Amino acid sequence: MLEKIIVHNISYKTFQKDAPYIRGVNRQDESGKDKGSLIMLEEWLSKNIRTQENLTEIIIKPLKNIRNIRQKPAHELTSNEYDVALYQKQFDLMNDAYTAIRAIRLFFANHPLAKDVKVPEYLVSGKDIANY
């Protein structure tokens, strides 16, 4: 479900448009094949966001991990297994997803045309966010 909620809802059309202070990216690669939404997001971020942070590590890698985790169960049948380690894996996955989405949100909050938008402090700091 996490893949459908987050990754599947990333529209490649979003990254093709130019806007004030933002440049779009091409849908096709050098060989003429369509790029996926995560590849386009990665290119768009590197083209439009200037930061010392490693955007691939913070945003793209967790989103690709979410997509990869879903691939196997989505395409083959498996029997149910009880695994205590699954709770920790789920906790880590949710934290990584939250960090990625929070970073994207902060980049948009820092856009020059969004200077009048008030973002609550708990979203800026990321503190006191509970993950059960």
Place of tokens 């894996």: 89
Close Cβ partners of 83 (under 8 Å, ≥ 6 residues apart)? none
pLDDT in tens, 35-94: 999 999 999 999 998 889 899 999 999 999 999 988 876 677 778 888 889 899 999 999
% residues pLDDT > 90 (the chain): 58
Q: Rounded to whole angstroms, how far apart are CA atoms 8 and 5? A: 6
* Per-residue pLDDT at 74: 66
Q: What is the pLDDT of residue 111?
A: 85
The greatest distance separating any two alpha carbons of the chain, rounded to the nearest whole angstrom, comes to 52
Q: What is the pLDDT of residue 126?
A: 83
C-beta separation of 9 from 20 below 8 A: no
**Looking at this protein, which amino acid is placed at residue 34?**
D
Rounded average pLDDT over 95-123 = 90
Q: State the average pLDDT over residues 87-102.
A: 93
Query: How many Å apart are CA 65 and CA 125, to the nearest integer?
Result: 24
